[in-house]
Chains A and B, each alone.
Chain A
Amino acid sequence: MTDNTMARVWDNVPSPFCGIASDDLKIEVAGPSVRVLENGDAVTTPGFERSVTDTAPRVGGKPASMTEAVQRAAAILKDARLAVFSGFGTDVNDTRAALSLIDKARGVFDQARAGGGVRNLLVLADSGWIATTLAEVKNRVEVLLIFGSDVEGAFPRFFERFVWNQETLFGQDPAKREVIYLGRAPSGNAAVSPDGRCPQVIECAPEHLPELAAALSALVRGASLQAETVGGVPVEVLQGVVDRLKRSSYSVVTWVAGQLDFPHADLTVQQVCQAVTALNKETRAAVLPLGGQDGDRTASQVCAWLTGYPTRVSFARGFPEYDPYLNDTARLLSEGEADALVWVSSLSAVPPPAAGLPTVVVGRSGMQFDTEPEVYIPVGVPGIDHAGHMYRCDNVVAMPLYPLRDCGLTSAAAVLAAIEQSL
């Protein structure tokens, strides 16, 4: 990243927001305002350009000093039987500081959008998978199968950066790649090849996605199905997809788990993964679980190395206990098990749910509340206000984040450490 100091224009800026860690952004900073000049998209640009509002903490809706706010937050934690920490929306250091505090406060660690990650992680811990990463996709993919998801809706630059790239390491012409949507149609034209070929789209109603995944897995393993259609899709069409994957020297199957929002969707993800594992008996194929916007992967990764478990860990008994059902914030709130909510979110400005509980927000400046929390400490954004690190969707590449401006906002990590000190 280079600094064009006079104009305050930064090149090659990594995005902590988009989940695929685009790091070719050109960004202009003037005072507190940030503008994406080049390579922004519908996810990244609002992430960078959200304006700074508050710079001072509030307690009970009234301006307060940092010390007062930190002490009030610590008092809430001291009074709480079980505090649940969610949000996360954070970089590595913010998450580290949060987990240190949660350990001491015997709280629960969850993420606002843990749902998608949990679907994937349940599969990982039950049967595993054969996975790939974005540069392998960019250089190798021959057939890209997208299961039940609208990739461009969540990852607007995915095709531009990794499918319709100019050249590949192994002499493949990327423009000849084949894209197949199975179960859901795309929302736009990103999957149309540079020479105008449209992707193959095989749609079904969302409630049929589990059957479709099961049929796919069965057909890859060579089973013959009695049914003529599955979820309204002719079996011969599905067989055609399977044959294409089997002929491919390197196919990639992807999905956006956050979009597979139905009960037991992990079992559907598992069928898709097992289809890919079976393909590898003869040829090469791999899965690419897409996700990771606004630090979603980052917080889970940090939790995994610091506690031994991914997101949804309780320290209530003095040691980490992983349970993605019991430690779900929504459940803890609705069952009345939690009696304090701490919302930590330095990347995303999504506010906490109205919990009717003493609530502490260590949140990005610019966060708007329907219900004012008891404590709000506005913080800066990793990758805008201070340095940091984020993970991209494939859990492999951690990107450095750089400070681009200084408008006096402290980091969530510093605030969380201060709260821990006051406990």
Chain B
Amino acid sequence: MLIKLTGGTVYDPANGIDGQVRNLFIRDGRIVHSLNGATPDHEYDLRGKVVMAGAIDMHTHIGGGKVTIARNLLPEDHRADPEPRRGLMRAGCGHAAPSTLTTGYRYAEMGYTAGFEPAVLPINARQAHMEMADVPLLDVGGYVMLGSDDFFLRLLSSGSDQQLINDYVAWTIRSAKAIGIKVVNPGGISAFKFNQRMLDLDEKHVYYGVTPRQILKSLARAVHELGVPHPLHVHGCNLGVPGNVETTLNTISGIEGLPMHLTHIQFHSYGVEGDRKFSSGAARVAEAINANKNITIDVGQILFGQTVTASGDSMRQHANAGHAHPDKWVCMDIECDAGCGVVPFKYRDKNFVNALQWCIGLETFLLIEDPWRVFLTTDHPNGAPFTTYPHLIRLLMDKSFRNDMLSTVNPEAAALSTLGTLDREYSLYEIAIMTRAGAARLLGLTDRGHLGAGAAADITVYTDQADKEKMFTRPDYVFKDGELVVRNGEVVKVVWGNLHTVQPEFDGGIEARLRDYFDRYHTMKLDNFVINDWEIEGDGRSKILVHPCHQGARS
């Protein structure tokens, strides 16, 4: 199949192309330099259109146990957003925790072609993959969670060699078919099982005697030394706690230059100034990020309305459960491996705290100078459902719209925020960095997120409009691996995405240790824990893609 995309205005930051008119050629799902004189099977006239790579959501809760708990928890939220069977699309439901099918359709309709589930519990990885397999039209991948699992904490507290920890981390990534490592409230999920209700960066886990700082260093070093492209993905300590900006700054300095990704940093950028003892720490955090090139972040922007927070952080979710709206919530201790907490939440624009959270997220976007190191997320669904992205993009690209919105939120919060004084407007090029090129680079996806020859033909075509929310809501065309899947915002073909993974090397000796550990303490056999290729590829829908790890990162 040969396709020519003619005369579009291309934004392809990975290749330094900023709004130049270009033709693009696709041969059998890949972008090529030219068709070598062959006649294309299809040609699309894209004159006057904006062309970008397919968007990549690098942190979105789209599959796994806690998402399905959220689904079971909120039938009333789903009832308000039914998705009837129509055309090629099967029925489902949307809003805060949509059904998997609807998740895929709605992402594709917005021009997204990949989404990464950031909280894959090793023991629940199989479920995460089964759910993500049922998300059509999107490539997927997962970051597997370590740091509160007892095997790791035993290694760390007994002073194990870093090499052994590296082996365990590599083995976990491979057996869970993941692309990175996430740590959530380092050690805190485990500490909560021992009835600890708080664990600050330098506080000791009551049983293991190790601190979150040690956990972060050990895991960040493992990821780095294994050459895993995606840095350690960190949901830090003290989520949502006023004053946690200090913890965040200490976390940044404490990692001592190792690569680290701080996720949903908005929830970790709170100061204690003012009458209400709640203030924005965004400026200080942004300053630290601007100064520390080893750090990347995604924002976890909140947007107003009903949503549900689904997190591995059972400790903090339990602490925040009093704010549940509606008043119901689930926490779980999970399998000496991790935990989770699912708390529905309604962010209100007239509420001081919520309005300031909204400001803090936007300040963060606007104060971080390098768009390659900040990523556009709402931590779906924790800050807002992913369907709000076009609105968020408009807030970033359109200062007068942003200030109009600012004038409608809680005035006390608005007055405390510097948001109204920030003039920056993101350009299309910068949006393309945040949502495509940067995300692909951060994950080590060399053939995604750009439009150069050799890239997979995941391409989104928009009509440029003054109203960027409208523009990004409804692309003209979306191609997935070279197939036209969306036309004028409607799904015209359903394909199934790929699973992106890495396979770092490890010394097989770790497996004997783990086998013994599983036999003694776990409730399943090690062989049944490891996810086999047939489980992903067996029904002919998903393909496993393995991205290379860096060489020579070992110190």
Contacts and interface: CB of A to CB of B under 8 A. Distances in A.
Interface of A: 1-2, 12, 14, 20-21, 23-24, 92-93, 96, 100, 103-104, 121, 124-136, 138-140, 161-162, 166-170, 249-250, 280, 283-284, 286, 301, 304-310, 315, 317-322, 387, 389, 391, 395-400
Contact of B528 (A250, A322, A400): A400
Contacts of A170: 207
Given A124-B330, A168-B521, A309-B78, A249 B73 contact: no
A130 B331 contact: yes
B75 A309 contact: yes
B330 A305 contact: no
B82 A169 contact: no
Contacts of B84: 317-319
B335 A125 contact: no
B131 A305 contact: yes
A136 B524 contact: no
A365 to B, nearest CB: 22
Given A93-B539, A134-B523, A304-B71, A319 B83 contact: yes
A136 B68 contact: no
Contacts of B85: 103-104, 315, 318-319
16 contacts: A125-B72, A125-B75, A131-B330, A135-B335, A136-B335, A138-B521, A139-B150, A140-B193, A167-B520, A284-B193, A286-B332, A305-B63, A307-B93, A307-B99, A308-B71, A318-B91
B422 interface: no
Contact of A133 (B324, B333, B532, B538): B333
Contacts of B154: 169
A400 B126 contact: yes
B499 to A, nearest CB: 16
B329 interface: yes
B331 A309 contact: no
A319 B91 contact: yes
A140 B207 CA distance: 13
Interface of B: 63, 65, 67-69, 71-75, 78-79, 82-85, 90-93, 97-102, 121, 123-124, 126-127, 130-131, 134, 150, 154, 192-195, 207, 318, 324, 327-337, 342, 520-525, 527-528, 531-532, 534-535, 538-539
Contact of B334 (A136, A169, A317): A136
Given A133-B335, A318-B84, A389 B130 contact: yes
Nearest to B135: A305
A45 to B, nearest CB: 19
A331 B207 CA distance: 53
Contacts of A124: 69, 72-73, 330
Given A304-B72, A319-B85, A23 B521 contact: no
A14 B524 CA distance: 9
B328 A397 contact: no
A396 B65 contact: yes
Contact of B91 (A2, A131, A284, A307): A307
Given A12-B528, A320-B91, A320-B93, A306 B535 contact: no
B491 to A, nearest CB: 15
Given A283-B195, A301-B68, A396-B334, 14 more contacts: A103-B91, A128-B324, A135-B336, A138-B523, A161-B523, A166-B520, A249-B195, A305-B63, A308-B92, A310-B71, A318-B91, A319-B91, A389-B535, A400-B528
Contact of A286 (B101, B102, B333): B333
Contacts of A1: 525, 527-528
B78 A125 contact: no
Nearest to A170: B207
Given A12-B525, A133-B333, A319 B68 contact: no
B134 A305 contact: yes
A305 to B, nearest CB: 5
Contacts of A166: 520
Contacts of B521: 135, 138-139, 167-169
B520 to A, nearest CB: 6
B539 A322 contact: no
B335 to A, nearest CB: 4
A280 B339 CA distance: 15
Contacts of B192: 284
Nearest to A137: B523
Given A304-B72, A308-B97, A399 B528 contact: yes
A304 B329 CA distance: 17
Given A23-B524, A127-B328, A161-B523, A305 B126 contact: no
A416 to B, nearest CB: 13
Ranked nearest first, the 6 interchain pairs of A and B with the lowest CB-CB distance are: A308-B93, A308-B99, A319-B82, A319-B84, A135-B335, A128-B328
A309 B93 contact: yes
Contact of A306 (B100, B126, B334, B520): B100
A295 to B, nearest CB: 14
Contacts of A93: 539
